[in-house]
Amino acid sequence: MPVSNNQVGPSMAQTRPSAPICSKLWQRQAWPTWALIVLVYSSWIVLMSHASQLSWWLVSPMAAVLLCLHGSVQHELLHGRPSPWRWLNDSLGWMPLSLWIPYFQYRNHHQLHHEIHTITEPGLDPESYYHWPHDWYLKSAMVRLLWQLNYTFIGRMLIGPWLVVGLFIKSETQFFWRGFSQPLSLATVLHQINWVLHLLLVAGVVMWLDVQGIVWWQYIVLCVWPGLSLTLMRSYAEHRPGDNNHRRCVIIEGSWVTRLLFMNVNIHQVHHEFPHLPWFMVYGHWRRYKQSILVSNGGYFYQNYWSLMKQTMVHPKDSPMYPKKPANRS
């Protein structure tokens, strides 16, 4: 369970550097990240090439792990690593192995998520799952039930992927619909060009999979869905409402397996404090300054995902209704 504030009092605080420094050559050149990029793409090609000869009971979990790890790699790329050149990082992240979300959209939304000073606030944070009270009570009982289920661990794993993809499709449909009724802007044109590129890449992936004997619906149901479920397990408790951004971010220490799979994004408070810190340096920083970090984030901490799951398997981690009302709402 989250550590209570009285367990991490000010007396336990440590002095922390303003930003960790990549002092070694392998750190500056991000060798672990390059290795993971090669590993993810080569493993995916090999697995899909032999999938028709293997049992889906074996292929599905392996594909889910690879697609989740690919999402973690994309997250590292959009933060400007491992290359100092954005065009190179973007080109490495564009391939839509999970099909549904364009890399440019993920990049833009996530960068905005880091820029705002009130993460989790509905309407401002594009990655918020919360709702203002006014909006919450306007929803039907069935929709509210779905959102409450999504706030349980099992619900996030099972219905979370469909809910996230559905909301994304709705948002993009509304964006394009508004574009037809307004004067054409450069941002809209670039958005449409990026979508065309994304759809061409998706078509290429689907056709290549078809050549390997994998039909598109098999890939979505048996690979993409469980892969997205793993990703949503990582993000399930990442944020909560709080007095400041430090207190809104969780620390889930986890095992080396989850730290590798999520590339240390589960050490979320450190990631938000130092978003440009390479993933392979995050855990060391957390271990060195653990007590002061726990003071900073108000003790929002879980030892691992098992402890999180035991507490929230069928019980919502908190309320989908945001605890504060915007000033311009009645």
pLDDT tens for the chain, residues 1 to 330: 565 444 444 444 456 656 677 777 767 789 999 999 999 999 999 999 999 999 999 999 999 999 999 999 999 999 999 999 999 999 999 999 999 999 999 999 999 999 998 999 999 999 999 999 999 999 999 999 999 999 999 999 999 999 999 999 988 888 888 766 777 778 788 888 999 999 999 999 999 999 999 999 999 999 999 999 999 999 999 999 988 999 999 999 999 999 999 999 999 999 999 999 999 999 999 999 999 999 999 999 999 999 999 999 999 999 999 987 655 543
Tokens 């060798």 label which residue? 31
Is 310 strand, coil or helix?
A: helix
End-to-end CA distance of the chain: 36
Give the Cα-Cα-Cα angle 108, 230, 244 (nearest 5 degrees). Answer: 55
- Half-sphere exposure at residue 170, Cβ-oriented, CA atoms within 13 angstroms: 6
Token pair 């311009």: residue: 328
Domain spans in the chain, listed from the N-terminal domain onward: 24-239
pTM score of the predicted model: 0.91
DSSP helix, strand, coil percent of the chain (3-state; round to 5): 65, 5, 35
